[in-house]
Amino acid sequence: MKKLTYLASAIVAALGFSTAAKADISVSGSADVAYTDAGGNTTSMNGGGVSFALSTTTDAGVTISASAGISNDKDSDGDDSTATGLTKLTFGFANGSLAIGDSVGIADGTGKVGELVTWADTNGVAITYEGSIGDDEGSGASASTTMGDATIGLAYVWDGSSAGDVDGATITASSVSISMPVGAMSVTAAAAQSENGSTKMNDSGVSISYAVAGGTLGVGYNVVSGDTAADEAESLGLTYSTSMGGATVKLGYQNHDGSSNTAQTTDIVVSQPLGGGASIWAEMRSTSGTRAAETASTSDTVFAVGTSVSF
């Protein structure tokens, strides 16, 4: 990443105004190109974007930050370039932060640690009972703070349609999460709820990671329950990551049990850095159990290879 820092005071001074205010703007970029194969149905993809991180500090020491970007979705074909961001302000304090805006997310799916691929799910067969809480992002506020070794997060979405309706929205959501070390392990637990009118869905999960056998092992468990039976499910995830030479190797397994059906995904991701922010990578996802049938354009097994660059 190449960081460009601008002092707003210098610009203002050049215009002959006061130099009391100043701000930092960091610019970074990324680009990707990928090739996927789902049982002979091959697809090329390319995407990336430019990201702007904006921040300033008040006289009282409060950091105020926002972000924006211009992006083209890296894991879809075609050109869908769009401008994003500037939908949330984050206020940083000595012992935590507060974010307010139209892109606040809740902490759901915490236990689904085995889902690793970015590109190798393209044209894969569908699993329709993975468990879903529904809308998990919208207009709202989130906060985080530390208590000893623990980090505690709270989030409330007052309008799941991101329209900013504080007191009359149909869709609302909330969550609480905690992350902390426990001996040699790192533990994260979260509980979330989403309401759409009179329909309520609940999501709770826990994930644990610790160093073992020259790498890092992760275990996660997630439960979705509520008023919509088709969206209820239990999920068990496993992941292991290690280094081989200069390459990073990640293995993931995710089991879904819902609607009296069970299905599994197995992921493999290998990435080799080339220097200068560039890397080559390969991914594979294999899906088994009760799932949609393969078609001429979808497959149980999807492969992907490509290159990613950070500027």
Mean pLDDT of 279-284: 98
What pLDDT is attached to residue 37? 98
With a CB cutoff of 8 Å and minimum separation 6, the contacts of 135 are: 157, 160, 161, 171, 173, 194, 196
What pLDDT is attached to residue 276? 96
pLDDT of residue 16 exceeding 70, the answer is: no
Residues paired with residue 215 on neighbouring β-strands, in sequence order: 212, 242
DSSP output for 82-122? EEEE-SEEEEEETTEEEEEEEEEE----TT-TT---SSTTT
* Joined tokens for residue 161: 């349609």
Q: How high does pLDDT run on average in the chain?
A: 91
What pLDDT is attached to residue 135? 87
User: Which residue matches tokens 């393969």?
Assistant: 294
pLDDT of residue 177 exceeding 90, the answer is: yes
What pLDDT is attached to residue 275? 97
pLDDT of residue 93 exceeding 80, the answer is: yes
pLDDT digits (tens, 9 = 90+) for 31-75: 999 999 999 999 999 999 999 999 999 999 999 999 999 988 776
Q: Torsion over CA of 254, 108, 91 and 23, rounded to 10 degrees? A: 40
Which residue from 100, 119, 110, 98 is spatially nearest to 35, judged by alpha carbons?
Answer: 119
With a CB cutoff of 8 Å and minimum separation 6, the contacts of 297 are: 38, 41, 123
Rounded distance between C-alpha atoms, residue 300 and residue 162, angstroms: 35
What pLDDT is attached to residue 74? 72
> All domains of the chain, ordered by start, with CATH?
8-310 (2.40.160.10)
Residues of the chain above pLDDT 70, percent: 91
What pLDDT is attached to residue 3? 40
Which residue from 166, 142, 140, 146 is spatially nearest to 154, judged by alpha carbons?
Answer: 142
pLDDT digits (tens, 9 = 90+) for 220-266: 999 999 999 999 999 999 999 999 999 999 999 999 999 889 999 99
